[in-house]
Chain A
Amino acid sequence: MADLALPKTLLVPAGLAEGLTESGGTINDIVQDALNSPIHRERWKYTKADGFLTQLVALSKAPTIYGEQQTGVRWLRETISNPIPGLDLQQGPEAFARLCFSGEAMRLEITGSVTDPVTLIHRSNTLPVIVNLSASASLTLIEMIEGDEGQQTVWIDIGPNAKLNHSRNALNAASSSWQYASVRLQSSARYHLNNHVLGCGVRRQDLHVIMDGQGADAKLVSAGMVDNKAALDQQITLEHRQPRGHSEQTIHNIVANGGKCSFNGRIHIHDGASGTEAQLSNKNLGLGDNATINTKPELEIYNDDVSCSHGATVGTLSQEALFYLTSRGIDKAEAEALLSQGFLQQCIDGPLAETALKAMIGIRELGASL
């Protein structure tokens, strides 16, 4: 395979580079090497990286925001000049490159319990967003991905005892779309993600969660529908670095009619992260003809005192369940629709649930009234 290359030479904003160049070489070389490391190449096994790399330098604008005029919320545009908590060049060299090329970012600072949600609407390429919750702050953050071609990178740092409910809909019919999110949790911080996604021309979603304080709690729930030759590639890395963290991931994807879906869920439990509880369940439902599903669970555990479960399944609709529904007079097509809806519905929740239901499965009349 030819080496992956950055679209142009990368210059690092002062401050951001702190500690990165110690290993020698220019920062451009380090990023280039990270892109081409065997581990990282593996993450791009099922999706062509080139197109995403070319777009790293595309012009970006600030996402549209709602709810920023509340007490405890600050929203500002800034020149990137400080280290970003949780930034891991090896994990996300593209996202790092995007920060550098952009030179600017939007910062969302949350300093209290914010009652109304803050909503970000991303149309095509948007500036990197840096979200910071101070100790004991709380927020509901909503993100909607729109536009044709686009990349969005978000860097989230959740302070001690702070709480973030994060809902994201990526339901746009884009030719190419990439969402990268890095989330760092400090001690007893809580993070809850509801992600709803449709496949598109090529869709890539990267999520890197770092449990970086004792007793942090993360819950990731995602529903995906990949139909009509669309593609979706989800890469999640969840690191437990500190003791007594709790993480739970449930990802359901339907892949139908020539759709192509890849899921890679890595759980990495570091030495010292004793008392960790980590769960991951990825279920895939293949429907129609020629659905391609790749799912790969990866576990790295450097600690004995953990409870960890990690499972991936690929299946079709249950014949038993189909017979049960049809034996009540429901015709086959409707029974199949009910079952696939039910499969996704288990992972559709939060403030964006209704929009997601409509887009993903066509809401039933009764569903809304219950």
Chain B
Amino acid sequence: MKLLDVSNLHASVETDDGPQPILKGLNLTVKAGEVHAIMGPNGSGKSTLANILSGRPGYTVDGGEVMLGNNNLLNLEPFERAQMGIFLAFQYPVEIPGVSNMEFLKASIDSLARARGEEQPNTANFMRTVRELAGSLDLDPAFLKRGVNEGFSGGEKKRNEIMQLLLLNPKLALLDETDSGLDIDALKVVADGVNRYRNQSNGVVLITHYQRLLDYIVPDYVHVLSNGLIIESGDKSLALELEAKGYAWLT
């Protein structure tokens, strides 16, 4: 079953010198149960792709289509996309002083439940679940009372993203360099979290620069994004080849 279908996606950002095209006719299909790794040089458009799928303001879609199941995503607000099952683990998670993590997570889970016509979890159970999840990602539950990502180390922010992934359990997870800035132990904890999330009905798009992550989260496909297009696709062995040879031989 097709989960995500991106076809012929053209997108640009507004710069001082006018609109600058970033994505130039990108195609990507993710079926339920699959993990797709996206690699590629800095500035090639990987984050742009993830941002556009999740609806971040600041980009203009100039053409193409993005379907999540039977829903066309492109005209939806970010919260509507999230309610349909899109989740973006941020390359740079945002700090929000004054809004506690717990409060934020409850607001989020309640919104998703409402949108799906499900019952909102009762507060006590919810808080227990969140504490257990935090523990399973080596996050001190005391973090939950602090402001969202406030004063978290780089690695803690990334683990917090994965905790949200496990809590919100979306249909499609877009992980933008969730491995960068992690020490080796944290990398395993994060990879273990993603593997726990994976099942036959959801999908993962994993943006990374390092093949090492793919030893822990084994992808079904590896794609190379360069200058706004996917120029090469393969299986896990492509990542090993890139590690050895770099990107130059492809372009």
Q: Which residues of A contact B (CB under 8 A)?
A: 318-321, 323-332, 334-335, 338-339, 341-346, 364-367, 369-370
Contacts and interface: CB of A to CB of B under 8 A. Distances in A.
Contacts of A329: 79, 82-83, 108, 111-112, 115, 168
Contacts of B115: 329
B107 A334 contact: yes
Contacts of B96: 321, 324-325, 339, 342
Q: Could you tell me the dominant secondary structure of chain A's interface residues?
A: helix
A147 to B, nearest CB: 31
The listed residue with most B CB atoms (<10 A of its CB), out of A325, A328, A339, is: A328
A365 B164 CA distance: 20
A367 B99 CA distance: 10
B251 interface: no
Interface of B: 54-57, 77-79, 81-83, 87-88, 90, 93-94, 96-100, 102-104, 106-108, 111-112, 115, 123, 127, 145, 147-148, 164, 168
B99 A327 contact: no
Contacts of A331: 77, 79, 111
Given A324-B93, A365-B123, A342 B107 contact: no
Q: Top 7 nearest A-B pairs by Cβ distance?
A: A342-B98, A342-B99, A329-B82, A328-B108, A324-B94, A326-B78, A326-B79
Contact of B98 (A319, A327, A346, A364): A346
Contact of A320 (B94, B102, B147): B94
B111 A330 contact: yes
Given A334-B111, A344-B98, A325 B55 contact: no
A328 B104 contact: yes
A323 B77 CA distance: 10
A364 B115 CA distance: 19
Given A329-B115, A365-B123, A370-B145, A338 B103 contact: yes
A319 B100 contact: no
A364 B98 CA distance: 13
Contacts of A339: 96, 99
Nearest to A331: B79
B107 A330 contact: yes
A327 B147 contact: no
Contact of A367 (B103, B112, B127): B103
A321 B150 CA distance: 12
B77 A326 contact: yes
